[in-house]
């Protein structure tokens, strides 16, 4: 089993919603492809359906990837299963979080689980515990309140904040709460920032890696990992640098 702590000196190539550059995001097809492309991490997003089932979906509405204008929270699981997530001629189904864990939790990779909707914190923690994910998961969110609630309920998990702007006040609050990871927008950080965060004791994971130029910049800045839609290209770049 992977151990998040053993990666303290290693880089984690997170397949962002799977290999989402090529395939329908947050689907089994995308996740399996990300692993095939040598990603040693998977990043995904948790929301809760109207009938209380945790599923993996990013956006506030279903429209961009399914064409349905509703949100996950407005639909039952049965209604979601009638939809297809589509990209470039491929289609697959929205994934139930527990089904994902059953298929991937045993793998020797690290997981970044993003809390997207209110009220998912405790149920997310319960499932992660059930599948033995404590030592191979970092839980993140853009919403500080979600993280505080999650950490209060499940303090054994690593957690970090996704953010665009990192201020001294934010750094201090994260340190006070015991966060282990800080996740800045790749284009709004510098190598000096990364060095400072490392000295504070944070791991640094970049997000917003929209192209290979940003990917190379973030890697060369010394981050510990990044969410990448094209993990195959990141894997090749890392190998070329070795």
CB–CB of 5/230 below 8 Å?
no
Taking residues 167-185, report their average pLDDT: 96
Q: Please say if the pLDDT value at position 230 is more than 90.
A: yes
User: Residue 203, Cα to own-chain centre: how many angstroms?
Assistant: 14
- Which tens digit of pLDDT belongs to each residue from 53-71? 999 999 999 999 999 999 9
Q: Please report the pLDDT score of residue 1 as a whole number.
A: 46
Mean pLDDT over 89-99 rounds to 98
Task: Tell me the domain boundaries of the chain.
Answer: 4-241
CA dist 67 and 52 (Å) reads 22
pLDDT band of 5, cuts 50, 70, 90:
low
Q: Tell whether pTM > 0.75.
A: yes
How far, in Å, CA of 122 to CA of 176, rounded? 22
Q: Among 8-17, 79-88, 92-101, 208-217, name the one with the lowest average pLDDT.
A: 8-17
* Pairwise CA distance, residues 208 & 229, whole Å: 10
Share of the chain above pLDDT 90, in %: 94
CATH 3.20.20.10 fits domain 4-241: no
pLDDT at 233 over 70: yes
Q: Summarize the confidence of residues 94-115 as an average pLDDT.
A: 98
Select from 155, 140, 142 the least CA-distant residue to 203: 140
- Averaged pLDDT score across all residues of the chain: 96
How would residue 6 be classed by pLDDT, with cut points 50, 70 and 90? low
Q: Residue 155 has what pLDDT?
A: 97
Mean pLDDT of 78-88: 98
Beta bridge partners of 173: none
How confident is the model over 175-184, as a mean pLDDT? Answer: 96
* C-alpha separations of 134 from 49, 105, 131, 173 in Å: 24, 11, 9, 23
| pLDDT value of residue 63 | 98
């Amino acid at each position: 089993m992977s151990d998040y702590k053993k990666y303290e000196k290693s880089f984690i190539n997170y397949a962002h919603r799977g290999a989402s550059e090529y395939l329908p995001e947050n689907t089994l097809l995308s996740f399996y492809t990300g692993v095939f492309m040598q990603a040693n991490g998977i990043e995904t997003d948790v929301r809760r359906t109207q009938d209380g089932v945790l599923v993996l979906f990013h956006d506030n509405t279903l429209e961009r990837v399914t064409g349905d204008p509703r949100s996950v929270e407005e639909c039952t699981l049965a209604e979601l299963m009638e939809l297809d997530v589509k990209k470039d001629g491929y289609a697959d189904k929205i994934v139930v979080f527990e089904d994902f864990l059953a298929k991937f939790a045993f793998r020797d990779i690290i997981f970044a689980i993003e809390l997207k909707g209110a009220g998912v914190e405790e149920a997310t923690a319960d499932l992660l515990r059930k599948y033995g994910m404590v030592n191979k998961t970092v839980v993140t969110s853009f919403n500080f309140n979600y993280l505080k609630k999650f950490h209060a309920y499940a303090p054994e998990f690593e957690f970090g904040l996704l953010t665009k702007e990192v201020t001294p006040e934010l750094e201090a609050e994260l340190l006070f709460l015991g966060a282990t990871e800080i996740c800045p927008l790749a284009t709004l950080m510098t190598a000096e920032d990364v060095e400072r965060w490392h000295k504070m004791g944070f791991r640094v994971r970049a997000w917003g890696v929209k192209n290979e130029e940003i990917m190379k910049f973030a890697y060369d800045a010394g981050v510990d990992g990044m969410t990448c839609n094209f993990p195959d290209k990141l894997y090749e770049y890392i190998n070329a640098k070795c």
